[in-house]
Amino acid sequence: MDPDRADENEPDYRFTLANERTFLAWIRTAFGLLAGGVAIDQLIAPSPARTAISIACLSMATVLATGAYTRWRRVQRAMRQDKPLPKSALMPAIACASGMIAVIAMLSVALP
């Protein structure tokens, strides 16, 4: 056993795999936002709203991919040390950012 991990236990493999699946789900969401941001930029006529929505999607993809990895590491460490799972700011952040993008999109449709 690694001396740096003397206080850590190997968690049940099912929990490790579930943590990994959750990480991959966040990464899939980041890829979807990335694809959406690029598609909006390439397929919609130039406008300030298009630029704002595209940049917001690409920014969210970056934050989500980075946050997913950080979250995966923190949860894995907590499981190994038999500690409570850490809270995550990813869900409120993605909800707020998605709402912001939806409002910009609605305004761009309602106000030509």
Examine residue 2 and state whether it is found in any structural domain, yes or no.
no
1 lies in a domain? no
In the chain the first and final C-alpha atoms are separated, in Å, by 64
Percent of the chain past pLDDT 70, that is, above it, reads: 95
Task: Report how far residue 3's alpha carbon sits from residue 18's, in angstroms, rounded to the nearest whole number.
Answer: 27
Asked, for residue 94, whether it belongs to a domain, the answer is yes
Output the six-digit token pair for 18: 């579930």
How many domains would you assign to the chain?
Answer: 1
How many other C-beta atoms lie within 10 A of the C-beta of residue 59? Answer: 13
> Whole-model pTM?
0.85
60 occurs within a structural domain: yes
Any domain includes 78? yes
Answer whether residue 6 is part of any domain: no
- pLDDT confidence of residue 3: 44
Containing structural domain, residue 93: 12-110
Residue 7 in domain: no
User: What is the tens place of the pLDDT at every residue in 52-87?
Assistant: 999 999 999 999 999 999 999 999 999 999 999 999
CA-based R_g, the chain, Å: 19
**Angle 37-39-44 from CA coordinates, rounded to 5°:** 105
